[in-house]
Structure 1
Amino acid sequence: MDQKNCLYCGEALRGRSDKKYCNLHCKSAYQYERSKNLPERFFDKVDNQLRLNRKILKEFNKGGKVTVRKELLTDLGFNDQFSTHAWRNQNGDVYHFVYEYGYLKRMENGREKYVLIIWQDYMEK
């Protein structure tokens, strides 16, 4: 009979004949190492950027509505090409949202800025 070894640590296996790992730690570590070597999928890139955008918007918008310079957000990795939905107000301004945190691009005094808001119930229309 062939001696089988753990795919992660190489230790000899005991038990079932189809066993591949000596314990749950080795199984988890092996799967993690394997996934690190796979190329990043498009979905993962988009999801990661959306999560980063949300984190940045949340960090800067503690008051419900605030205006910040564009460079402050982009220096932290914010990318305004990634949003989840949009909402148009009565004035025709289009706010882009990353989940519950929204932003509106605006020029003030020759500088690009974002007006940051939080989703409100009246925006459901």
Structure 2
Amino acid sequence: MKKCLNCGKVLEGRSDKIYCDVHCKSSYQYQQTKIKGASFYQKVDKQLKHNRKLLKNYNKAGKATIRASALHKEGFDPNFFTHYWKNLKGDVYLFVYEYGFLKRKENNIEKYVLILWQDYMNN
């Protein structure tokens, strides 16, 4: 007699059945994910989404400058980005999807110049 992996109820039906219903299957898989912790992919994806959200919130007009400490305090991590773009001056902007940032130092204060991806950057 086989029992459900999640609730322990006796299983009826197919011989290869391991859960009594879809709710038990979902619950069991959710519990396993909690035990194992987030995968590397999930951690990277979560940080990218968080970075994008912060850049979007601070860059309402399409171009802005903000102190690096303000972004870092909210959990921004500049090591997580999706691509980069190099302008004619040689500055390399790192992008999190459509929101870009460039680290600058002005008056001994680290800042980020925030920009929005433009069509001309495709070339």
TM-score, normalising length from structure 2? 0.89
Task: Name the Cα RMSD after superposition.
Answer: 1.5
Which of residues 106, 109, 112 in structure 1 aligns to 2:107?
A: 109
- Asked whether 1:57 is paired with 2:62, we answer no
2:16 — aligned with what? Answer: 18
Within 1, Cα distance between the matches of 2:4 and 2:39?
28
How far did residue 116 of structure 1 move?
A: 0.7
How far did residue 122 of structure 1 move?
A: 0.4
Of stretches 41-50 and 61-70 in structure 1, the one that deviates more from structure 2 is 41-50
Q: Which residues in structure 2 correspond to 1:7-46 (within 5 Å)? A: 7-46=5-44
How many residues get paired?
123
How far did residue 39 of structure 1 move?
A: 4.8
Structure 2, gaps ≥5 residues long: none
Which of residues 61, 86, 89 in structure 2 aligns to 1:88?
A: 86
Identity %: 59
How far did residue 113 of structure 1 move?
A: 0.7
Of stretches 106-115 and 38-47 in structure 1, the one that deviates more from structure 2 is 38-47
Q: What SS class does the counterpart of residue 96 from structure 1 fall into? A: strand
TM-score, normalising length from structure 1? 0.88
Within 2, Cα distance between the matches of 1:47 and 1:110?
32
Structure 1, gaps ≥5 residues long: none
Within 1, Cα distance between the matches of 2:66 and 2:7?
51
Of stretches 9-18 and 58-67 in structure 1, the one that deviates more from structure 2 is 9-18
How far did residue 12 of structure 1 move?
A: 2.2
Within 1, Cα distance between the matches of 2:15 and 2:102?
60
